[in-house]
Amino acid sequence: MLRKVIALAALGLACIGGQAAAATHPKDPPSIGWSFEGPFGRFDKAQLQRGYKVYREVCASCHGMSLMYFRNLGQPGGPFHDEKYPNPNDNPYVKALAAEVQVNDIDSETGDTVQRPATSADRFPSPFPNEAAARASNGGAMPPDLSVIVKARQQGPQYIYAVLAGYANPPPGLTVPPGQYYNPYYPGDVSAFYQGDHGHVPEGGFLAMPPPLGSGKVTFDDGTPSTVAQQAKDVTAFLAWAAEPKMEERKAFGLGAMIYLLLLTILLWFSYKRIWRNVAH
């Protein structure tokens, strides 16, 4: 009798676990070919420029990038790098971009908090003064900092792109709670809000962020069609660069190191043959 009870309990737990796994499993992101993938991949400078514009005009209203300085935009490999200005702080375009943004400062005479145009030496400003204000403006949810978001999420750029471009209408039988939005690529548990067959719970979850992108929401200076997919892809590439701004330098150094080691190996092989040619092995 005890064995039957244990067996039934184990079966029940297995069924519950199977339902939970189905409920919390998001849809697999689509495969996107990124220019920066692979050992020889490089960032598309034009794409990074478009991505920065999407971030500044759309994402920056809720998400900060506390690890980024405006001068990073003009460093080698950055979206606005110009070889004429080895010091990115001297890049006039970077200065102009920074000046478009207001940052907090302290009046040296009165000690009051004032705002001034940012300089290339300033960090990207936070959209909220503190965490409580951020949560209050977003229905209790804390918008994550985007500085290294691509590195912090499994599947990296594929996941970020999928979530940004993957908002969808909920499937039949799924009720979306107020202030929440359904996204099949976002991990979560929607089983409590699903009225259909719990053996086939819809993929994905709910998140508090409404669909941030829209067709034509951002106008690209180079004339690229501003579709949701294009905006998502461009801003994802920009966030991938922000998470690893020295990627191209790292890959170039790695390639040079491999060539050096190859030549050293060949040299050592010939040296070995010359030194030990008359010695029996």
Q: Nearest to residue 119, comparing CAs of 148, 79, 153, 89?
A: 89
Contact 94, 120 (CB under 8 A): yes
What mean pLDDT do residues 161-177 have?
94
pLDDT band of residue 138 (cuts 50, 70, 90) is confident
Distance of CA 52 to the CA centre of its chain: 12
The sign one gets for the Cα dihedral 102, 104, 105, 109 is positive
**3-class SS string, 184-205:** CCCCCCCHHHECCCHHHCCCCE
| Centroid of chain to Cα 67 | 13
Q: What is the mean pLDDT of the chain?
A: 88
Q: Are 108 and 278 in contact (CB under 8 A)?
A: no
Which pLDDT band holds residue 164 (cuts at 50, 70, 90)?
very high
- What mean pLDDT do residues 105-134 have? 90
> For residues 260-277, b (16+ Cβ closer than 10 Å) or e, as one string?
eeeeeeeeeeeeeeeeee
| pLDDT for 8 | 36
pLDDT value at residue 281: 61
pLDDT at 18: 37
Question: Which DSSP helix (H) or strand (E) runs through 157?
Answer: helix 156-165
Q: What residue type is 156 in one-letter code?
A: G
Q: Residue 268 pLDDT more than 50?
A: yes
* Interhelix angle 156-165/228-243, nearest 10 degrees: 150
Of 13-22, 78-87, 104-113, 154-163, least confident by mean pLDDT is 13-22
Asked if 50 and 220 count as a contact pair (C-beta separation under 8 A), the reply is: yes
Q: Which residue has the higher pLDDT, 37 or 14?
A: 37
pTM (2 d.p.): 0.84
pLDDT, residue 147, reads: 96
| pLDDT of res. 127 | 93
**Tokens standing for residue 166:** 């993957």
Side-chain-side CA neighbours of 79 within 13 Å: the count stands at 22
Tens-digit pLDDT profile for residues 55-110 = 999 999 999 999 999 999 999 999 999 999 999 999 999 999 999 999 988 988 88
pLDDT at 23 over 70: no
Is residue 16's pLDDT more than 60?
no
pLDDT: is 12 or 214 the higher one? 214
Q: Which is more confidently placed, 139 or 211? A: 211
Summarize pLDDT for 175-213 with one digit per residue, the tens: 999 989 999 999 998 989 999 887 788 999 999 999 999
Which one has a higher pLDDT value, 193 or 13? 193
> Beta strands of the chain (E only): which ranges?
102-106, 113-117, 181-183, 205-207
Q: Compute CA distances 233 → 36, 166, 176, whole Å.
A: 12, 12, 27
pLDDT band at 255 (very low <50, low <70, confident <90, very high): confident
Q: Name the percent of the chain lying above pLDDT 90.
A: 68
